[in-house]
Amino acid sequence: MKNLYTPPRPEPIDEFIEVLAGSGRTRVERIISRGQASPEGFWYDQDEHEFVAVLQGAARLRLQAPDEEVVLGPGDHLTIHAHRRHRVEWTSPDEPTIWLAVFYADASD
């Protein structure tokens, strides 16, 4: 058994991504951000759908089509459909932001 709030040792300075579970095109990840944001002009454009929740900290996402800005705090979650372009505009510089993300594909893919 492991804990989502336990920091990895040694504590990483960069953004930290850990696959917790999954198989095939389903993947459960813990992501820990420390003030990181997506590079200027970078947009994620993923083949998989993504369910994402913030468990600790805070973050601001920007999404396209439709254009939307979303601020997430502990417990907030949303689903970003495959190929909906999005980027992380901001994460809290004051504490680690812990994300839980589940990537998955359509059954027919």
Beta strand ranges found along 26-67 (DSSP E): 26-33, 49-56, 59-63
Classify 13 as helix, strand or coil: coil
24 binds its own copies (CB under 8 A): yes
**Stretch of 8-16, 19-27, 39-47, 89-97 contacting its own copies, by CB under 8 A:** 19-27
What's the sign of the alpha-carbon dihedral 76, 34, 98, 14? positive
Classify 1 as helix, strand or coil: coil
Residues numbered 71 to 100 that lie near its own copies (CB under 8 A) are 72, 74-79, 100
Residue 34's nearest CA partner among 90, 107, 73 is: 90
31, 34, 36, 49: residue in contact with its own copies (rule CB under 8 A)? 49
37 binds its own copies (CB under 8 A): no
Q: How many residues bind its own copies (CB under 8 A)?
A: 33
13 binds its own copies (CB under 8 A): no
Cβ proximity to its own copies: between 41 and 75 the closer is 75
